[in-house]
Structure 1
Amino acid sequence: MQASAHASPRRVLTVLAALAGALACMLPLANGALAHGSIVDPATRNYGCYERWGDDHLNEAMAQEDPMCWQAWQDNPNAMWNWNGLYQNNVNGNHQAAVPSGTLCSGGNAENGRYSSMDTPGEWKTTNISNNFTLQFYDQASHGADYFRIYVSKDSYDPTSQRLGWEHLDLVKETGSYAPTENIDIPVNTSGYSGRHVVFTIWKASHMDQNYYFCSDVNFS
Structure 2
Amino acid sequence: MSVRRGVRTALAALAGVATAVVFTFASAGPASAHGYTNGPVSRQLQCSTGAVANCGPIQYEPQSVEGPKGFPAAGPADGQICAGGNSGFAPLDNPRGGAWPAQTVQAGQQYTFSWHFTAAHRTTKFEYFITNSSYNPLNPLTRAQLDLVPFAKVDYGGAQPPFDYSHTGTLPTGKTGRHLIVAVWTVHDTANAFYSCSDVVFGSSPGDPDPGDPDPGTCSGLPVWSSGATYNGGAEVGHGGQKWRAKWWTQGEEPGKTGEWGVWQALGAC
Q: Do both proteins adopt the same fold according to a TM-score greater than 0.5, normalized to the shorter chain?
A: yes
- Structure 1 position 129 matched with structure 2 position 80: no
With over 3 angstroms needed to count, the CA separation of the structure-2 counterparts of 1:198 and 1:185, relative to structure 1, is same
Q: Percent identity, please.
A: 23
Counterpart-to-counterpart distance in 1, 2:69 and 2:113: 25
C-alpha displacement of 1:127: 1.1
The corresponding residue for 2:238 is none
The corresponding residue for 2:146 is 169
Work out which of the residue numbers 65, 71, 84 in structure 2 matches 1:86: 65
With structure 1 as the length reference, what TM-score do the two structures score? 0.68
Of 93-102 and 199-208, more deviation after overlay is shown by 93-102
With over 3 angstroms needed to count, the CA separation of the structure-2 counterparts of 1:130 and 1:144, relative to structure 1, is farther
The corresponding residue for 2:167 is 186
- Structure 1 position 154 matched with structure 2 position 132: yes
- Structure 1 position 117 matched with structure 2 position 100: no
- Structure 1 position 209 matched with structure 2 position 209: no
1:129-159 CA distances to partner (integer Å, 9 max, x unpaired)? 2232221111132214201121111122121
- Structure 1 position 105 matched with structure 2 position 86: no
C-alpha displacement of 1:48: 1.2
| Structure 2: gaps spanning 5 or more residues | 1-28, 204-270
Counterpart-to-counterpart distance in 1, 2:140 and 2:169: 24
SS at match of 1:174: strand
1:76-125 CA distances to partner (integer Å, 9 max, x unpaired)? 2x21111010102xx363654431111111111x2xx1110111113100
Equivalent residues in 2 for 1:21-100, closer than 5 Å: 36-51=34-49, 53=50, 69-72=52-55, 76=56, 78-88=57-67, 91=68, 93=70, 95-100=72-77
C-alpha displacement of 1:35: 5.7
Contact in 2 for aligned 1:96/1:166 (Cα 8 Å): no
Paired residues in the alignment total: 166
Counterpart-to-counterpart distance in 2, 1:141 and 1:94: 22
Counterpart-to-counterpart distance in 2, 1:149 and 1:35: 17
| Structure 1: gaps spanning 5 or more residues | 1-30, 54-65
* Larger Rg, first or second structure (1 or 2): 2
With structure 2 as the length reference, what TM-score do the two structures score? 0.56
With over 3 angstroms needed to count, the CA separation of the structure-2 counterparts of 1:94 and 1:172, relative to structure 1, is closer
What RMSD in Å do the two structures reach over aligned CA positions? Answer: 2.4
> Which structure dedicates a bigger proportion of its chain to helix?
1
With over 3 angstroms needed to count, the CA separation of the structure-2 counterparts of 1:177 and 1:168, relative to structure 1, is same
Counterpart-to-counterpart distance in 1, 2:141 and 2:73: 12
SS at match of 1:84: helix
Contact in 1 for aligned 2:63/2:118 (Cα 8 Å): no
With over 3 angstroms needed to count, the CA separation of the structure-2 counterparts of 1:80 and 1:92, relative to structure 1, is closer
Bigger RCO of structures 1 and 2 (CA < 8 A, at least 6 apart)? 1
Counterpart-to-counterpart distance in 2, 1:40 and 1:144: 20
